[in-house]
């Protein structure tokens, strides 16, 4: 494929956090055993580290310079899979990632997943919105193709056939390589498979909420459908807004932030029981609780790569380390039992 084009001049790159001095020198390519842990996403040639670094915090709780450091640390540890969306900080996340890709010359070695449908400039999943959203994301990311494009949500106002048809045009032009769904029901996934059998693009992955503290919605219906269709599952909120990282253990730990308010609902008997088992197993494996929570997800089929974010480079190691943890049968039984409702 062609090299990435220059980013559009109308993209707001003037932030000091994204100036060359802040980005620093180009680090040497990583040589890390994490490469041997990589997995293939369904029927694709996308080979990814089993931890997708989420970009929702870039430009929000992590400024441009901090985001660059997080991305550098992720790459140094063997990570190669980035997840973002056109709606994250109104596209700022994509801009930051695009600047990092260029400065590190990392596009060819990085798998980029982005989501469309929630950006106010190109809302919904009409053909027009999809085409406009993808072109805007390509500009912000400074690339000429997206590895994995997600529909960010199921848009009931647009026939699924129209949405898939628009992506078909983008795939034929090489601007989108593979298609995935986010927050789709089992019924809509089955409808999409029927349309794919008639020649339209098929979903190869599903991004859905799934963690030790949020199991039932996925395991009750989506697990069966994704397994039958051979879809890769990419769970988000893998750490339950930071609660499973042990970040919030009392009301005193709750800052006045959106993430903390979401984590507050787990400050109850069930949440503390799960955290206690995580703490014990983490101590036995000499890792952080977050690594165990993610390792539990990685060990469950058909999960390929949980999505987790870091607001500081020091948080990245625990996330990436999860891929190398081998939980025992007893560990899995204990975690399954304590997290079941």
Question: What positions carry a catalytic annotation?
Answer: 88
The DSSP H or E segment spanning 182 is strand 176-182
CA count, 13 A, side-chain hemisphere, 290: 25
Using the Cα atoms of residue 133, residue 48, residue 34 and residue 107 in order, give the sign of their dihedral: negative
Q: What share of the chain is helix, strand, coil (3-state, %, to 5)?
A: 50, 15, 40
How many CB atoms are closer than 10 A to CB 280? 14
Structure tokens, 106: 């990392």
**Comparing C-alpha atoms, which of 228, 203, 212 is closest to residue 306?**
212
Q: Given the structure tokens 């090489």, which residue do they identify?
A: 174
* Sequence-separated (6 or more) residues with CB below 8 Å from residue 17: 63, 64, 65, 66, 67, 68, 96
Indicate the Cα dihedral angle 131, 192, 56, 215, nearest 10°. Answer: 170
Helical spans, DSSP H, in the chain: 20-23, 64-76, 92-104, 127-141, 160-172, 186-197, 216-217, 223-229, 258-263, 269-285, 289-298, 316-321, 329-339
Q: For residue 61, what is the DSSP state?
A: T
Do β-strands 47-48 and 39-40 pair in parallel, antiparallel, or remain unpaired? antiparallel
């Amino acid at each position: 494929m062609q090299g990435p084009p220059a980013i559009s001049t109308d993209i707001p790159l003037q932030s000091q956090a994204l100036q060359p001095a802040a980005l620093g020198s180009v680090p040497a390519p990583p040589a890390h055993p994490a490469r041997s842990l990589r997995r293939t996403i369904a029927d694709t040639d996308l080979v990814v580290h089993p931890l997708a670094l989420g970009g929702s915090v870039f430009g929000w709780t992590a400024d441009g310079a901090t985001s660059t450091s997080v991305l550098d640390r992720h790459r140094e540890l063997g990570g190669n899979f980035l997840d973002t969306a056109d709606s994250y900080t109104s596209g700022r996340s994509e801009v930051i990632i695009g600047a990092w890709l260029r400065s590190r010359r990392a596009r060819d070695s990085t798998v980029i997943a982005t989501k469309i449908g929630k950006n106010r400039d190109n809302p919904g999943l009409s053909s027009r919105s999809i085409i406009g959203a993808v072109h805007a994301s390509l500009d912000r990311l400074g690339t000429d193709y997206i590895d994995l494009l997600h529909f960010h949500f199921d848009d009931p106002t647009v026939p699924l056939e129209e949405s898939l048809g628009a992506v078909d045009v983008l795939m034929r032009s090489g601007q989108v390589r593979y298609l995935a769904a986010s927050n789709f029901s089992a019924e809509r996934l089955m409808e999409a498979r029927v349309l794919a059998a008639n020649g339209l693009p098929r979903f190869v992955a599903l991004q859905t909420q799934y963690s030790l503290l949020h199991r039932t919605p996925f395991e009750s219906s989506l697990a069966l459908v994704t397994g039958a269709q051979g879809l890769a599952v990419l769970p988000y909120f893998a750490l339950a807004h930071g609660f499973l990282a042990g970040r919030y253990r009392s009301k005193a730990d709750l800052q006045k932030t959106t993430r903390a308010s979401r984590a507050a609902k787990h400050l109850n008997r069930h949440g503390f029981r799960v955290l206690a088992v995580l703490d014990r197993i983490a101590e036995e494996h000499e890792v952080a609780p977050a690594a165990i929570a993610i390792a539990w997800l990685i060990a469950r089929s058909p999960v390929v790569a949980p999505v987790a974010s870091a607001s500081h480079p020091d948080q990245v190691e625990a996330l990436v380390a999860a891929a190398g943890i081998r939980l025992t049968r007893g560990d899995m039984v204990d975690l399954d039992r304590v997290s079941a409702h």
